[in-house]
Structures are given as C-alpha cells and as structure tokens.
Structure 1
Amino acid sequence: MEYSALGQTGLRVSRICLGTATFGVAPDPQEADRLVGAALEAGINFVDTADVYGNMPVFDRAGAPPAAERDSAEEILGRSLRGRRDEVVIATKANGITGLGVNDRGLSRRHIIRQVERSLRRLSTDWIDLHYAHDPDPDTPLEETLAVYDDLIRQGKIRHVGLSNHPAWKVTQAHWIADDRRLRSAPVAAEVKYSLLDRAAERELAAACGQLGVSVVPYAPLHGGLLADLGVLGRPVSGDQRFGAPGFPPEEVAVAREVDRLSREWGLGMQQTALAWLLSRPAVASVIVGPENVAELRADASAADVRLSMEQLEALTALKVEPPAFHHRAGDGPRQPSSASTDS
C-alpha cells in the first residue's frame, strides 16, 4: 500500500480508503468485521463513514434486515476496530437527516455538536480524525459551522475538518473565513463524487483544492460498480436507480465497455484501471471504495500499486471529456494528468 499526505495536516493516509455506507447490508456485520481486518492487513489506514450510514432505507436489500433493525455503520466499525483504533484515520460526517425533528439535520452548532458526540459513542473512540460537513446547509452561515468546528478541535473531539459535496467557491470561502478569523478549522479535504465517468470535480474543485493545499477524496470511484464489472448491468437495481434515477445511460455503458477492453489488453482488472486513473489526477489523495466482501476489497486495494503509463492515462482521459466551467484561451487549456506524490 502507498500513502499520501492528507492536505497539510502531516497525516499520511492510504491511497485506498475503506467506505462503510452499506455496512450492515452488504457486507453484513460479520463480513464487515472480516472486511475491516483484511483492510488493515492490506495496509489501508483510512476509513470513511457517516452518522447516517448503514441503517438508511435507501440501501435496503432483499435478505437484509430492514433499516430500523440494523446497527449503524459507525457502531459496526467501532466494534471492528476495538484494540486497533490507533492504527486508523477515521473520517465521519454530519448533516444527514437523523430524526423527525426540524433540527435533526443541518450544520448548526446544535446539530454538529450532538452528532459528533453521538459518533464518538458509536465509534467507541475519544476523537475523530476528520469530520466532514456532509452537504452545504443554506440555513446556516459557513462562519457558524466553522466556529463550532474550531471549538470541537480545541476540545480534542475532532482533529481536522473537511467539506463533502461542497462546490469550489464554498471550499475557497471556508479558507478565507478561517484565515480572517484565525480558526483552526480550515478544510483539509474535499470529498466529492468523482470517477472516470463523472468528471464534474475537474471543472473547478480540483484546481481550487490544488491551490489551497486541500486533498480531494473521491467517492463512487467505480461509478456504482459499472467500472468494476459489467455484470452489474444484469442487476435488478443498478447505478443511481436506488435514488430514483434511470440508471446507466447508453453513453456511459459504451465507455465502460471500452475501459473493460483496454483493461484486458493491459492485463488489468477494470477496477484497477479505473482507480489507478483516478489516483493519477491532481490533488487526489485517496479514493473511497465500497467493497461488499474481502475478495472485492483485495481487488480494489491492488489498484494502489498500479502505475499507468502516460499513454494509457491519455487514452482513458480521452474516453470522456469534461468541459471546463470557464473559457480557456488558446494554448491555456487544462494540464495533462500527473502522477501524485506517494511513498511506500
């Protein structure tokens, strides 16, 4: 396993991050325990969770207990890490709907403090390494959110702050606020949906993060499994269909088939190719994978050791071009991908 710097914190995190959104469903709690153990054995020291993961109805699946009867992903993860807490960097989040009350979500002082305290209990830990504001909250000024995070850092309950699903201007604004108010809560990481098939992060966010020294941490790097195994097309529910979306459009399937062809030609698995491409992108420190079993975890983890040539990277990049958010002058287009700095 290789490791990258997380922002400017001095922390080193594995290039592959274990995601836990579906813990309790696939994998079930027993398999999740094996999965965490296998991740640690593979050198993975970065784990991503959230206050609403694991027992969300949107992840219900035939054969699994209903959401109301499942433990949260944080509880499952906390049990799996007993005696090994110091080996991992834990990232969790707040802002998701956690109850029926009007204040049971958001980035207010009340909600963040309550959710951090609940996360600490569920994770059976005294501190959280990285806490993300899960989504923007239009009702709470960013100044208020960063101020409560600053208090929590001073109390030792969290160590660092991140922003999840926030646009580039919000990440930049957060740094301006933190600098102006001398806060310790300037974001060190930006979590965003990002893959070979979803390149919106390249319009502005990746460049902004590069300038600010913020790490980009992609989730859904295999695009709902389409970039891992074309067999996903045969599932009754695939892609974003669980969120009410139509699933994979034909143009995405066409790109995935070409990734599969190229991967076979290069002697790689699809997931190795897709993850290695993403790890080559500017500002990307680690990618969050969501394996359902140990075999999938090991396949995902192997991508950290894959080095694609510049020709291979260019061939993959050309499969789907993301238009810039602003006009580039002639000769001033986006730079070619460069390999991120890592160590063993």
Structure 2
Amino acid sequence: MKYSVLGPSGIRVSQICLGSATFGVAPTSQEADEVVGAALDLGVTFFDTANVYGSAPTFDRPGHPPAAQRESAEEILGRALEGRRDEVVLATKSGERRVGAGAGLSRRHIIGQVEQSLRRLRTDHIDVYYGHFPDPHTPLEQTLAVYDDLIRQGKTRYAALSNHPAWQMTEALWIADDRRLVSTPVAAQVQYSLLHRGPEAELVPACSRFGISIVPFAPLHGGLLADLSVLEREISGDQRYGGAGFSAQEIAVARALDGLAREWGLEMQQVSLAWLLSRPAVASMIVGAETAEEMRANASAAEVELSAEQLEAVSALTENRPA
C-alpha cells in the first residue's frame, strides 16, 4: 500500500480508501467485518462512511430487510474497527436526511448528527468530517463556524466538503482565512473517474492551486471500469438507484480499456485506479468491496505504476468526451 498526505492536514492516508455506502446490504453485516479486516491487513488506513449509508431507502434490495430495520453503515463500521480505531483515519458526513431526522448543514442539524455518528461509530472523535452536499438554505459561514466549534471541542479533527463545486470550495477557503477558522477544508470528495471527468474543468485546478486533496468516489463507475462481467448482471451501474444504467458510449470505452489492460498484462481495475491516482490533487480513492477478494483486487492498484505513454493512452479514451 502507498500513502499520501491529505491536503494541509499533515496526516497520511492510504491511497485506497474503503467506502461503506452499501454496508448492511452488500456486503451484509457479517461480510462487512471480513471486508474491513482484509482492508486493514492490506494496509488500508482510510475508511469512509456517512450518517445515511446502509440505512437509507436508496440502498434497498430484494431479499434484504428494509432501511428502517437495517443496521447503518456507521454502526457496522464502528463495530468492525473496534480495538483498531487508533490505526485508521475515519471519515463520515452529515447533511443528508436520516429516517426521522432533519437534513442540511445548519448548526442545529450538524450538532445533532455528529453526536449520533459518534455513538454509532463507537468513537469519541471523527478524523475527517464532510458536509455531504451543498445546503442552499444555510450560509457557508454558519457551516464552517460549527465545524470550527467541533474541532476545538475535539469531536472532529478536520473539516472537508463533498459534492461542492469549485466556487464553493474556494469560498470556504476565503471564509476560513478571513475569520481565522481552524475548519479550513482539507479535502474535496467528488465523483471522478475515467468516465466522469467533469471535475477536471474547475475543481481539479482549484484544489491543485490551493493544496486541497481530491478524494474521488465511484472511481470504477459502478464496476464497469473493473470488469466487463458487470454487464451480465440483471441490475448494474446506477440502475441500482433508479438510473438508466450504462450508455453505449461508456461500454465502448470500457471495452477499449479492457483491451489495453490485457495488452499490458494488468487487470482492468488496476489500470482504472492507477490512472486516477496519477491525476493532479488526487490523494486517495474510495472503493467499495462486497467481499475480501474484491478488496484485495482493488488494493493491488496502489502498487501499479503506469508509464507516461500508458497514462496518455488511457486518457485518450475519454479526452474528447463532454464534461
């Protein structure tokens, strides 16, 4: 495993981060323990979750208990990390609605959610605390002020933003500097992959300029950039969340990528993840895994170094696609 410094935080995180969005569904609670254990054994030190993961209706699947009857991902992850909490950098989020709870990034909602997250995670502090989505009803000044309070109280260590556009990330830096806050965002979490390069237009240059780390989620684009066998599944890609699934253009890119990987003697997911790790400002990538075997396969990408020619060949597959 290789490690990177997360923005201006000074902390080192593994370049592969284990995400827990579907913990409790796939993998199940028991399987999640095995996945987390495998990740720790592989040197993964960065774990990502959120107050709504696992227990949100979005992740309902046939044959599994409905959201209200499931353990949350935070509960599952907190239990799996028990006894090894000090070995990892733990990130969670607030801002989205839980069953019976409010949503948003106001002082009221954040304070209420951080206490619940601490309880579910079985910890006294959260290392990286993200604002999950922009809140159009709450001034960013208020959000950063409460993050500042939480850091000074020792309940969180660093602030970060997820799914925020470049202009809001820049505004957050201005506010933190102007008000001398310790809640300067250290990372930007965003969907980013070979098939989703929109962040390269503004967010990547902004984060590169100001020393903020980018932590991509969905780096394998629903599994399409990992293994073409995903196309054989009855439900694939964003169809899990009511979307349209993979487009013909996306499938064509994936087939071309698979051809390059075979030519180079590598696995498809290794090429996809190694390419993304080479992009400016990217410090770590959030990967999901349903089994320990998938965890090991994804983690192996951190050891792969593509040549300049190989990186150029991968980039060329989607360089002219609209953002």
TM range (shorter): over 0.9
Q: How does 1:253-292 map to 2 (within 5 A)?
A: 253-292=251-290
Aligned to 1:222: 220
Residue 237 (1) aligns with residue 235 (2): yes
Residue 70 (1) aligns with residue 70 (2): yes
Aligned to 1:174: 172
CA distance in 1 between counterparts of 2:30 and 2:183 reads 36
CA distance in 2 between counterparts of 1:204 and 1:116 reads 30
Q: How does 1:317-336 map to 2 (within 5 A)?
A: 317-321=315-319
* Conserved? CA contact 1:19–1:288, under 8 Å: yes
Point out where structure 1 has 5 or more consecutive residues left out of the alignment: 326-344
CA distance in 2 between counterparts of 1:20 and 1:100 reads 22
SS in 2 for 1:129: strand
Q: Kindly, what percent of the aligned residue pairs are identical? A: 67
CA distance in 1 between counterparts of 2:242 and 2:39 reads 32
In the TM superposition, structure 1's runs of 4+ consecutive aligned residues that sit over 4 Å from their partners are: 322-325
In the alignment, which of 183, 187, 193 is matched to residue 185 of structure 1?
A: 183
Residue 91 (1) aligns with residue 91 (2): yes
Aligned to 2:23: 23
CA distance in 2 between counterparts of 1:167 and 1:69 reads 35
Aligned to 2:205: 207
- Shift of residue 324 of structure 1? 8.7
* Conserved? CA contact 2:194–2:315, under 8 Å: yes
* Conserved? CA contact 1:128–1:158, under 8 Å: yes
Aligned to 2:308: 310
Residue 8 (1) aligns with residue 16 (2): no
Point out where structure 2 has 5 or more consecutive residues left out of the alignment: none
SS in 2 for 1:256: helix
- Shift of residue 285 of structure 1? 0.1
Aligned to 1:36: 36
1:216-258 per-position Cα deviation (integer Å, ceiling 9, x unaligned): 0000000000001111112121111233221111000000001
SS in 2 for 1:105: coil
Aligned to 2:150: 152
Higher normalized helix content (fraction of residues): 2
What is the TM-score normalised by the length of structure 2?
Answer: 0.98
Equivalent position amino acid for 1:48 in 2: D
CA distance in 2 between counterparts of 1:246 and 1:127 reads 39
* Conserved? CA contact 2:59–2:241, under 8 Å: no
CA distance in 1 between counterparts of 2:241 and 2:290 reads 19
* Conserved? CA contact 1:202–1:322, under 8 Å: no
What is the TM-score normalised by the length of structure 1?
Answer: 0.92
CA distance in 2 between counterparts of 1:100 and 1:305 reads 44
Aligned residues: 323
CA distance in 2 between counterparts of 1:10 and 1:188 reads 10
CA distance in 2 between counterparts of 1:65 and 1:232 reads 24
CA distance in 2 between counterparts of 1:150 and 1:323 reads 40
Equivalent position amino acid for 1:139 in 2: H
- Shift of residue 100 of structure 1? 4.5
Question: Aligned-pair RMSD on alpha carbons?
Answer: 1.2
Equivalent position amino acid for 1:155 in 2: Q
Aligned to 1:82: 82
